[in-house]
Amino acid sequence: MNKPRKLAAGNWKMNGTLAALAELDALLEEGDRDCEVLICPPATLIHPAVARIAGGGIAVGGQDCHAAESGAHTGDLSAAQLADVGADYVIVGHSERRTDHAEDDGAVSAKAAAAHKAGLTAIVCVGETEAQRDSGETLDVIARQLAGSVPEGATAGNTVIAYEPVWAIGTGRTPTTDQIAEVHAALRNALVARFADGAGFRLLYGGSVKPSNAAEIFAIANVDGALVGGASLKAADFGPIVAALDAVG
Question: What is the contact mask toward ligand 13P in residues 15 to 44, using x (rule: CB under 6 A)?
Answer: ------------------------------
Interface with ligand 13P includes 174 (CB under 6 A)? no
CA nearest neighbour of 169 among 59, 94, 219: 94
Interface with ligand 13P includes 145 (CB under 6 A)? no
Q: Which of 170, 194, 196, 212 binds ligand 13P (CB under 6 A)?
A: 170
Kindly name the residue from 36, 66, 94, 184 that is annotated as catalytic.
94
Closest contact distance (angstroms) between CB of 238 and ligand 13P is 10
At residue 204, what is the residue type? Answer: L
Put residue 191 in one of left, alpha, beta given phi > 0 → left and psi -120 to 50 → alpha: alpha
CB 18 within 8 A of CB 45: yes
Interface with ligand 13P includes 107 (CB under 6 A)? no
Query: Considering beta carbons, is residue 78 or 208 the nearer one to ligand 13P?
Result: 208
d(CA 110, CA 138): 24
Question: Is 94 a catalytic site residue?
Answer: yes
Query: Considering beta carbons, is residue 38 or 156 the nearer one to ligand 13P?
Result: 38
Question: Is 23 a catalytic site residue?
Answer: no
Query: Considering beta carbons, is residue 81 or 174 the nearer one to ligand 13P?
Result: 174
Interface with ligand 13P includes 62 (CB under 6 A)? no
Interface with ligand 13P includes 127 (CB under 6 A)? no
Interface with ligand 13P includes 124 (CB under 6 A)? no
Interface with ligand 13P includes 227 (CB under 6 A)? yes
CB 127 within 8 A of CB 163: yes
d(CA 42, CA 85): 13
Q: Which of 149, 230, 239, 244 binds ligand 13P (CB under 6 A)?
A: 230
Closest contact distance (angstroms) between CB of 49 and ligand 13P is 17
Query: Considering beta carbons, is residue 80 or 133 the nearer one to ligand 13P?
Result: 133
Query: Considering beta carbons, is residue 94 or 116 the nearer one to ligand 13P?
Result: 94
First-to-last alpha carbon distance for the chain, in angstroms, is 18
Site for ligand 13P in 179-218 (CB under 6 A): 206-209
Query: Considering beta carbons, is residue 94 or 184 the nearer one to ligand 13P?
Result: 94
Which residues in this chain contact ligand 13P in the complex, by CB under 6 A? 11, 94, 164, 169-170, 206-209, 227-231
Catalytic annotation, residues:
94, 164
